[in-house]
Every structure is written in C-alpha cells, then in structure tokens.
C-alpha cells in the first residue's frame, strides 16, 4: 500500500477540486435514487388512483411530477458537475505528478538513468502517471459514493421493510466490500503483469521504429515482428483474463442488486397484503434499491485494476527514489572568479565494483589553455568530459574549478561556465529558434543570426522556408549530420561558456563540412579553455598540450610536435592516420 499512499499524499494540494468532484458524485447518486424511487412510487400510485382521468381531483400529480423533474435535473446537472470537477481535479493532479516526476528524473540523468530504455522512461511519464487517475476516479470517488448509498439504505429502509433492510445491507456489503476484495486479490497479479507488458510493448515499438532501417537491411524485420507479436499475444491473453474476471465480477455484483430487489419484493409483498405497506411504497423501495446498488456496481472492477495502479506507482517510485549520482549542494560555494580547471590524481569507476576506467589522471587547464585528449577507443576519453561536466564524481582525487571542488558549485554556475558539444548533442523536435534558445533563452534574433554565422549555418537557415521558425523534425532529422552539428555549435556560441568541452564534434562529418565546423570551433575557442577529445591526430599542432590515454592512464603527454619527436604510440598512430588520409585524398 505504501506506493499508493505516497501518491495519495500528493493529491492533497488539489483536495478542494477532488472533494468537490466526490460531492457532485454523491449528488448524482441522490438524483438517481430519488428519480427511480419517486417514479416508482408515482407510477404505481397513479395506476392505483384509477388512471386519474376518471377522478381528476382525487390525486395530486403535480407535486410528484415536479419531484420527478427535480431529480432528473439533479441527476443531469450533478453528472455534468461531477465530470467537470473530477476531471479538473484529476488533470491538475496528473500535471503536478508529471512535473514532480520530471524534476526527480532530471538530476538522475545521465548516470542513474542509463539502465532504462528511452521507451521505458516515456511509459513511466505518460502511461504510469495516467494510471494513477484510476485511484481517484475509479476507486476513491465510487467508494465514497457507495458509503453514502449504504448509509441511505440503513437509514431509510428499516422504516419501510425492516427484514429487507437487513438482507439488502448484507448484500450491499457483499457487493461493495467482499467482491472488491476478491477482485483486488484475483486481479493483482494479472494487473501487475499487464502494466509491465504494456511498458514492454511500448519500449519494443519505439525501439523497433527507431531501428527500422537496420532491421530491414539485416533482414531481421520478420523476426522482430514475430517477437513483437508474441509479446502482443501475451498482453492480449492477460487482457482477456482480466476481461473475463471483470465479466464474472460484474455479473456477481449485478446479482447482489437483483437479489436485494427480489427480497424487498418478497418481504414487501407480504406487508402489502397485511396492509402495513402500500403498493406505491413497495415500488418506491424496489426502484430505490436499484438506484442504490448502482453505486456499488463499479467497485469490483475498480479494485480489480488496483494491482495495475500499484504497479504503476511502484514503477514511478523506483525511478523517483533513486539517488542522483551528484546532488546539487544546498549551500553552494560562491562562483569562482578564476576559471582554472584541474584534475588532480583522478581515479574513476562507473560502478563501485566495476573496472577502473581512469587512474591517476592529472590535467591542468588554466584559462585559455587548449588540451586535446586522444587515445584508442575505450581509453576513457569521454569519461574525462563526463567528469568535467559533473555527470559523475570521481572516487579518487579531485576536480576543481578555481580551487573549488566541482561538487561544491551550484548546477547553474557550473553549466554557465562549462559548455559541451559532442557528436550526440541533441537537436530537439522544435524550431531552429527554440533549439538555439536553449543556449540563451533571452537571445534576440540578431544574437541568434550572429551565432549561426559563427557556426557557418546562417546562409542555410536563411534559405529555410520559415528561417529561424522552421521545424527541424525529431532529433533534427530534416537536417544533415553537419547541419545538426553546426546548429548545436551555434547553441554553444550563444551560451558563451568560458570552458569548452568537445567530444569528437567532427566525427561523422565529410571532409569539407568538418573543415567548416573546425574553423568555426577555432574561432570560438580563441580566448577560452578547451578540452578536445578526438581520434583524429592529424590536426592537433595548434594545441597547447596533447594527452594520450591508454586503458585509463596517461601514456604520453606533451605538444603534438614533441610527441611526434618522441616516436612513441602517439607518433605511430599519427603516421597510420596521415597515411590513410593521403590514400583517401588520392582516391
Ligand atoms: N556509462 C557507463 N557505464 C559503465 N561503463 C562505461 C560507461 N561509459 C563508458 N564505460 C566504459 O568505460 C570505458 C571508457 O569509456 P569512454 O567512453 O570514456 O572511452 P572513449 O575513450 O571515449 O572511447 P571512444 O573513443 O570509443 O568513445 C570503456 O571501457 C567503456 O566501456
């Protein structure tokens, strides 16, 4: 129950809407019961009065008629109000929950979210949060209404047909408590499995959709489709089980209502014969009972789906309660004036029991210094940038900015000073302008065009149908790789960080585009500190220092020319690369 209670507490700020919605649901109940019972009484009384035409003055049809209209209006108005208030309340709660979840998930990125697939996280934000509306709409409100129905039953019926009151009360307890209890137990496992399967289906669909081209090329689309169908079949089978259970439960709860009406008739008919109850009163009770039992009818199904809701709540908490790898300090150190970035004897593992990824790394980056980090794949180059961006904290040594450990700085200060660009810098499904505004939300058009100019993209954007307001598609898919990279670069230009962390920003670009982006980066890097992670050793002669890593350790370091002269591993790699470049040029 803990996960559900946790979320119930989060409903509190909107209690007025939620309580208002529940109150309107009670009004609907009063309307339904009033309408049914009064109509039953009225029709029977009218019939008994000898179809009033024969004796028009003897029976007042106006007041009961007005009553019937009143209850009909109460029911309709109540239902409108109920929908309005319960939905307003639910949407407010859901939107709070979404931003709460997002706020919790954000600091977990990237270190603590890497085990989750993108579709899984999406499913939590959308479907799992949506599932929580069941808690209020389907469980709490109907339970409250059913309690009122029970109160009405035990307060009114004993005065009319005492024996039927006891039986009807017991039947209502059976339909309103015992059946929901059975439903909750019977539906728990399947409900939980359904929640997991729904997430798996969504993740699978997203994954397969994204990799469709690869699946086709590797002729794996059939297999993937078969796996998807198998998953879907399991999902449908579980859904069928749930629906079967719903059917039985609905039948059972319906029977409790019918049994109560039948018993009321049996006991009431005896009283009518004994003249201790009038026939219209009997009709009043029977139809009133039908209305009261309507309040109980949705409960078994609601509780049947509680397992699914609980699973959704657990899945949300499983992410929200993760501890971020780095917690933004409550009392951050003042922003340092001197932006000297230092790695001192840094050692790091991604998992405490995992292999050492970096060992004994020293880097000295006074303002304006340009350092290239090179080395074979897996040597730990990107990890150095991940640490400088404070995505993780090193287990050994320290990283400081102006003498202040990175973990003591506020997130806002840190990311104001440190900007990054990589081959995977995200281009959002938005316009050029919105993508740029991420760098500086206050930037005006002139500043944006100036940034695009530096990134060598101004001419291209100027030719787009809506220039800055052109939509660039999912992950910027309407842009070429080079255009996307330059857009990301323009964003960094707008951010204007004094320290630039670049992770293979030229990877995947053709020679010409790479040259344009490189020139833009050179222009941007002037006067700023820069760490450039790269495989390409052919254009590092203007770097102040080259740090060559191997298996997480600094193997060689010095100027590009110095390292070539030393004729070690760096020089060998450089020779191979230069030869490959010459062959490519000749081709
Ligand atoms: N998030 C992670 N969790 C666990 N291990 C990781 C993670 N990221 C990287 N590693 C491991 O850490 C080591 C260093 O990875 P890193 O990405 O820093 O290498 P790299 O030198 O940048 O490689 P490449 O040139 O191929 O990008 C690798 O063995 C890699 O498998």
Structural domains of the chain sorted by starting position, each given as residue range(s) with its CATH number in brackets:
2-320 (1.20.1560.10), 341-586 (3.40.50.300)
Q: pLDDT at residue 20 above 60?
A: yes
**How far apart are alpha carbons 300 and 187 in whole angstroms?**
10
pLDDT of 530 above 90: yes
Average pLDDT, the chain: 89
Question: Ligand 1 within 6 A of 110 CB?
Answer: no
pLDDT of residue 338: 87
Nearest CA to ligand 1 atom 30: 378
Is the pLDDT at 51 greater than 60, yes or no?
no
Query: What is the band of 501 on the pLDDT scale with cuts at 50, 70, 90?
Result: very high
C-alpha–C-alpha distance, residues 10 and 18, integer Å: 12
| Shortest-distance Cα residue to atom 29 of ligand 1 | 378
Residues 167-194 pLDDT 10s: 999 999 999 999 999 999 999 888 888 8
Angstrom distance (rounded) from CA 92 to CA 431 = 28
Residue nearest to atom 31 of ligand 1 (CA): 378
Determine contact, residues 44/283, Cβ cutoff 8 Å.
yes
Phi-psi region of 584 (alpha: psi -120 to 50; beta: other; left: phi over 0): alpha
Residue 383 Cα to ligand 1 middle (Å):
6
Nearest alpha carbon, ligand 1 atom 16: 380
What pLDDT score was predicted for residue 546?
Answer: 94
CA 377 / ligand 1 centre spacing (Å)? 8
Which of 347, 369, 306, 292 lies closest to 559 in space, CA to CA? 369
**Any ligand 1 atom below 6 A from CB of 350:** yes
User: Confidence band (pLDDT; 50, 70, 90) for 585?
Assistant: low
Cite the beta strand spans of 349-481 per DSSP E: 358-365, 370-374, 396-401, 404-405, 418-422
Q: What is the pLDDT, as a whole number, of residue 587?
A: 60
382 lines ligand 1 (CB under 6 A): yes
Three-state secondary structure string covering 255-302: HHHHHHHHHHHHHHHHHHHCCCCCHHHHHHHHHHHHHHHHCCCCHHHH
pLDDT reported for residue 279: 93
Give the pLDDT mean for 22-37. Answer: 96
Residue 377 in contact with ligand 1 by CB distance below 6 A? yes
Residue 459 CA, distance from chain mean position = 38
157 vs 102, 165, 259, 436, CA distance in Å? 51, 5, 15, 70
H or E segment to which residue 582 belongs: helix 569-586
Q: Ligand 1 centre from 328 Cα, in Å? A: 25
For the segment 285-297, what is each residue's pLDDT rounded down to a tens digit?
A: 999 999 999 999 9
pLDDT of residue 224: 83
How far apart are the C-alpha atoms of 46 and 50, rounded to whole Å? 7
Beta carbon of 114 within 6 Å of any ligand 1 atom: yes
What residues have CB less than 8 Å from 151, skipping those under 6 apart? none
- The residue contributing the CA closest to ligand 1 atom 26 is 377
Atom of ligand 1 nearest to the CA of 549: 21
259-309 pLDDT per residue, tens: 999 999 999 999 999 999 999 999 999 999 999 999 999 999 999 988 888
For ligand 1, say whether the CB of 380 is within 6 Å of any of its atoms. yes
Q: Tell me how far the alpha carbon of residue 340 lies from the centroid of ligand 1, in angstroms.
A: 26
For residue 350, the CA-to-ligand 1 centroid distance in Å is: 9
Q: Return all residues near 364 (Cβ < 8 A) that are at least 6 apart.
A: 340, 342, 343
Residue 357 beta carbon below 6 angstroms from any ligand 1 atom: yes
Which of 354, 380, 531, 554 for a ligand 1 pocket mutation test, highest count of atoms within 8 Å of Cβ?
380
Least confident of 64-68, 415-419, 475-479: 475-479
Q: Is the CB of 379 under 6 A from ligand 1?
A: yes
Confirm whether the ipTM is greater than 0.90.
Answer: yes
Atom of ligand 1 nearest to the CA of 380: 18
What is the torsional sign of CA 81, 86, 89, 91? negative
CA of 175 to the centre of ligand 1 (A): 59
pLDDT tens-digit series, residues 131-159: 888 889 999 999 999 999 999 999 999 99
Ligand 1 atom 10 nearest Cα = 350
Helix (H) or strand (E) holding 521: helix 511-525
Predicted confidence (pLDDT) at residue 58 exceeds the cutoff of 70: no
Probe ligand 1: pick from 343, 361, 383, max atoms within 8 Å of CB?
A: 383
Q: Comparing C-alpha atoms, which of 481, 484, 486, 512 is closest to residue 584?
A: 512
Query: Ligand 1 centroid vs 533 CA: distance in angstroms?
Result: 13
Task: Please say whether the beta carbons of 472 and 431 come within 8 A.
Answer: yes
What residue owns the CA closest to ligand 1's atom 9? 383
Pocket test for ligand 1, best of 110, 115, 357 (most atoms within 8 A of CB): 357
* pTM of the entire predicted model: 0.74
Atom of ligand 1 nearest to the CA of 375: 21
**Torsion 569-571-577-582 (CA) sign:** negative
**Minimal CA–CA distance to 460: which of 484, 477, 443?**
484
């Amino acid at each position: 129950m803990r996960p559900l209670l946790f979320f119930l507490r989060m409903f509190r700020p909107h209690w007025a809407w939620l309580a208002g919605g529940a109150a309107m649901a009670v009004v609907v109940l009063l309307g339904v019961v009033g309408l049914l019972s009064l109509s039953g009484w009225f029709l029977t009384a009218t019939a008994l009065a000898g179809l009033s035409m024969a004796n028009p003055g003897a029976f007042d049809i106006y007041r009961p008629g007005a009553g019937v209209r009143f209850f009909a209006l109460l029911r309709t108005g109540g239902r409108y109000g109920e929908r309005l208030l319960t939905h307003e309340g639910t949407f407010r709660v859901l939107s709070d929950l979404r931003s709460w979840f997002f706020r919790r998930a954000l600091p977990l990125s990237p270190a603590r979210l890497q085990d989750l697939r993108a579709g899984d996280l999406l499913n939590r934000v959308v479907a799992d949060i949506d599932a929580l509306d069941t808690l209020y709409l389907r469980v709490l409100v109907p339970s409250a209404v059913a309690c009122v129905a029970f109160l009405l039953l035990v307060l009114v019926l004993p005065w009319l047909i005492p024996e039927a009151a006891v039986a009807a009360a017991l039947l209502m307890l059976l339909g309103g408590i015992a059946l929901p209890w059975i439903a909750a137990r019977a539906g728990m496992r399947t409900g939980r499995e359904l929640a997991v399967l729904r997430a798996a289906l969504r993740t699978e669909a997203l994954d397969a959709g994204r990799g469709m081209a690869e699946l086709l090329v590797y002729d794996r689309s059939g297999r993937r489709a078969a796996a998807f169908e198998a998953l879907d079949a399991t999902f449908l089978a579980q859904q069928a089980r749930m629906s079967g259970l719903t059917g039985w439960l609905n039948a059972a709860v319906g029977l409790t209502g019918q049994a109560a009406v039948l018993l009321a008739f049996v006991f009431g008919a005896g009283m009518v014969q004994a003249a201790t109850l009038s026939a219209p009163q009997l009709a009043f009770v029977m139809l009133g009972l039908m209305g009261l039992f309507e309040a109980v009818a949705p409960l078994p199904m609601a509780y049947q789906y509680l397992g699914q809701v609980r699973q959704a709540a657990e899945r949300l908490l499983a992410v929200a309660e993760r501890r971020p790898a780095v917690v933004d300090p409550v009392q951050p150190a003042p922003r340092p004036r001197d932006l000297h970035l230092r790695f001192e004897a840094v050692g790091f593992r991604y998992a405490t029991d995992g292999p050492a990824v970096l060992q004994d790394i020293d880097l000295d980056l006074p303002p304006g210094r340009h350092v290239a980090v090179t080395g074979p794949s897996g040597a730990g180059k990107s990890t150095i940038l991940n640490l400088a961006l404070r995505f993780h904290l090193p287990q050994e040594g320290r990283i400081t900015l102006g003498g202040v450990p990175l973990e003591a700085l506020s997130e806002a200060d840190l990311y104001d000073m440190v900007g990054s660009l990589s081959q995977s810098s995200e281009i959002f499904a938005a316009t050029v302008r919105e993508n740029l505004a991420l760098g500086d939300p206050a930037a005006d058009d002139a500043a944006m065009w100036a940034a695009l100019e530096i990134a060598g993209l101004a001419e291209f954007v100027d030719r787009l149908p809506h220039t800055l307001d052109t939509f660039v598609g999912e992950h910027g898919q309407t842009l070429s790789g080079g255009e996307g990279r330059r857009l990301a670069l323009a964003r960094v230009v707008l951010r204007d960080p004094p320290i630039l962390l670049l992770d293979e920003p030229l990877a995947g670009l053709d020679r010409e585009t790479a040259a344009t982006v490189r020139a833009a980066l050179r222009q941007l890097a002037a006067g700023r500190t820069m760490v450039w992670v790269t495989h390409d050793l052919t254009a590092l002669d203007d770097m102040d220092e080259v740090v060559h890593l191997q298996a997480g350790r600094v193997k060689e370091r010095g100027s590009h020319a110095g390292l070539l002269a030393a004729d070690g591993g760096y020089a060998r790699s450089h020779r191979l690369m230069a030869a490959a470049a010459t062959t490519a040029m000749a081709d």
